Structure 1
C-alpha cells in the first residue's frame, strides 16, 4: 500500500512506520522533523500539525491508500488533515483511546459503552478524552465508512514514552527489595505497540472500519506476571514486596497508577482491564506473548537509553519517592 503516517517518530508512530516498511509498503511521514531522522526508504514531509497552512503545503500533492494518524491533542488538527485528504486517501486509521468512554467504565465494556462529548473543531487539547473523541468525530465527518477508530487500551512495548514499562525496568534493574502494588493476581490488559501497528495496517488493507476496542485479551496476565517477566528479562534477583494499593495510597504513594491499577480517588477502579475485545479479534487482531513484549522493550531500552518523556506524561518521580519506598519497606518487614 501507499501509506501516510501522520507522526512516525515516537512510540505508535514509529511502530507503524517500521511495520509498514516490513510489509513492503510505500511509506510517507508527516511530522515536525525535530526528533528522530526518517527511517531509510521513507519519504519525509515536514510540517507542524498545529499549523494548517504548513500542513496544506506539505500535503499539496500525493495520494495514499491509507492514512494512519497518531495525533493526541486539539482535534481541529485531525479535522484539517481529514478534510484535506478525503478525496486523496482510501482509508483513515485513527489511533484513538478507550478514554473516549464516559467514566466510570462499566465492567467488560465494548464499543457500545457511553462516550464523552467531543468537538471536532476544537483547538483545545487539554482534556485528553474530549480531544480523542473530537478527533474520532473529525475523521468520521470526512471518511465515514472508510475510517477505523482504534480505541487502544494501555499501549506497551518498544519505544514507549509514557513512563510505564521503561520506569519499572529501570527500578528493577537497581535491585534490592522492590515495593510492588498488589495484589499480585490483579489482572492487567494491554496491547503491544507492534500488534497494534500490524493490525491497523492489515485493517487498512482489508477496509476494516468503525470503532474497535484494541487491547489484549482480558484475564490473560496479572501484575505479578508482568513484574516477574521483567525480572527474568533483566536477569535481576530483586525481591518483590507486595503491598495492597489502598495501603499504599493511604501513605501517599500512588504506585500502581502507572499501570491503571488505581486512580487518584479510586483504589479499585472497574472496567480498566477487562474490556471486551471480541470485535477487534474478529477483524484479525492478534497478541504476542508477554515475554516477547518485555524482552523487546528491554533490548530497545539498553540499545537507545531512556526515551524523552511525552510532554503530557507524568514525571517518573510521580510513581515513587525512594525515601518513602524504603520507609514503607521497613514497615512491611
Structure 2
C-alpha cells in the first residue's frame, strides 16, 4: 500500500511509521520539517496540514491507498482534509481519542458504542466535532476512526498530570519527595505501549471490516494509580513512594487544565473492551505490561539524561498543594 501519515515524530506516530515500514508499505510523511529526521525510505513532504494551500502544494498530484491523520483536532481540520483528499485517498483514518467518551461514565467498561460527551475537556469536545464532521462530510471517501488512550513509548514515563514534562513527577519520587495522586488512587487506568498500538492501527489500513467504524486501541491491562506509582518507584530504585491523595475536584478547582486532565479523563475508572480491534486485526496483542514499558523507558532515559528535565513550576505547585493538604490533617 501507499500510505500518507501526518506528523511522524510524536510518541504514537513515530511507532506507526516504524510499523508501516516493517510491513513493507510505501510511506510518505507530511509535517512542517522542524523536528527530528525521518527513517530512511520515507518520503518527506513539507507542509502545514492546517493551511489548505500549503497542504495542496505539499501533496501535489499524489494519491494514496490510506491516509492516517494525527494532526486533526476539530471539525474544521477534518473538513479541510476532506476537501483536499477528495478523489485521491482509498481510506482516511482519523486519529481521535478515548477522552471523548462520556464523563462521568455510565459504566466503567467502555466499547466503541459507549456514549460520547465530555463537559470538562475542550480537547475532547473538539475531537468529537472532528468525528462528527467526518461522518457527515466523507461522502464516497472510506473512513475509519481510531481512538487511542494514554499511549507512551521509550522516551517518557507517563503520569497522572504534569505541566509539559512528565519526568518531574518521577524525579520527586526518586528524590524521596511526596507526590500527588488524585482521588484515593484506587481508580483503574490503562497505559498502552506505542509499538503495541501501532500493530493495531496499521492492521486497520486497507481493512474492509474497519471502514465506516470507530475502533479504540488500548492495552487490556487496567491498574490503579497507586499501583502505577509504586511500580515506577520500584523500577527506578526509589523505594516506597510518599503518595499524597488529593481530591480530583480540588485539583481541578486550582487549575483549569487539571479539571480536563483529571475529571475529564484520568479520574474515572475505565476499562476498555478491545474485542473489535482484536477481531479486525488478529495480530494485535497489547502484550507490553506497565512494568515492562516503564523498565524500557527508564533504560532509555538513563542513556539520555537530557530527557530528565526539572520543572520548577510543577514542583512549586506540588509543594504548595501538599503543604495545604497536610495542614488539614
TM-score by shorter chain over 0.5:
yes
After TM superposition, the score normalised by the length of structure 1 is: 0.77
Q: What is the RMSD computed on CA atoms of the aligned residues?
A: 3.8
In 1, the alpha carbon distance for the partners of 2:124 and 2:19 equals 27
Deviation at 1:143, TM superposition (A): 6.5
**Which residue of 1 is the match for residue 152 of structure 2?**
156
Instruction: Establish whether residue 127 from structure 1 lines up as the match of residue 127 from structure 2.
Output: no
In 2, the alpha carbon distance for the partners of 1:52 and 1:247 equals 40
Deviation at 1:132, TM superposition (A): 1.2
Deviation at 1:330, TM superposition (A): 6.7
Selected match of 1:281 from 275, 278, 286: 278
Contact 2:182 2:248 in 1 (8 A): no
Instruction: Establish whether residue 58 from structure 1 lines up as the match of residue 58 from structure 2.
Output: yes
**Which residue of 2 is the match for residue 111 of structure 1?**
112
Instruction: Establish whether residue 225 from structure 1 lines up as the match of residue 227 from structure 2.
Output: yes
**Which residue of 1 is the match for residue 95 of structure 2?**
95
Deviation at 1:198, TM superposition (A): 1.7
**Which residue of 2 is the match for residue 29 of structure 1?**
29
Single out whichever of 45-54 and 276-285 deviates more from structure 2.
276-285
| Secondary structure class of the residue paired with 1:216 | coil
Deviation at 1:242, TM superposition (A): 3.2
Deviation at 1:67, TM superposition (A): 1.2
After TM superposition, the score normalised by the length of structure 2 is: 0.78
**Which residue of 2 is the match for residue 311 of structure 1?**
none
Contact 1:180 1:241 in 2 (8 A): no
Instruction: Establish whether residue 324 from structure 1 lines up as the match of residue 326 from structure 2.
Output: no
Contact 2:168 2:315 in 1 (8 A): no
The unaligned stretches of length 5 or more in structure 1 are 118-125, 309-314
**Which residue of 2 is the match for residue 211 of structure 1?**
214
Deviation at 1:197, TM superposition (A): 1.8
Instruction: Establish whether residue 82 from structure 1 lines up as the match of residue 85 from structure 2.
Output: no
Count of equivalent residues: 312
**Which residue of 2 is the match for residue 292 of structure 1?**
292
Instruction: Establish whether residue 196 from structure 1 lines up as the match of residue 193 from structure 2.
Output: no
The unaligned stretches of length 5 or more in structure 2 are none
In 2, the alpha carbon distance for the partners of 1:185 and 1:100 equals 22
Selected match of 1:136 from 131, 134, 138: 131
| Secondary structure class of the residue paired with 1:321 | helix
| Secondary structure class of the residue paired with 1:240 | coil
In 2, the alpha carbon distance for the partners of 1:128 and 1:6 equals 19
In 2, the alpha carbon distance for the partners of 1:90 and 1:243 equals 51
Q: Evaluate the alpha carbon distance shift between residue 244 and residue 235 of structure 1 in structure 2; reply closer, same or farther with a 3 A threshold.
A: closer
**Which residue of 1 is the match for residue 171 of structure 2?**
170
| Structure 1 stretches of at least 4 aligned residues deviating more than 4 Å after TM superposition | 159-165, 176-182, 250-254, 257-260, 328-333
Q: Deviations over 1:242-276 (max 9, x none)?
A: 3433399389888xx5996x428x9x954x52233
Single out whichever of 221-230 and 195-204 deviates more from structure 2.
221-230
| Secondary structure class of the residue paired with 2:138 | helix
Q: Evaluate the alpha carbon distance shift between residue 13 and residue 130 of structure 1 in structure 2; reply closer, same or farther with a 3 A threshold.
A: same
Q: Deviations over 1:16-43 (max 9, x none)?
A: 1122223332221001111222222211
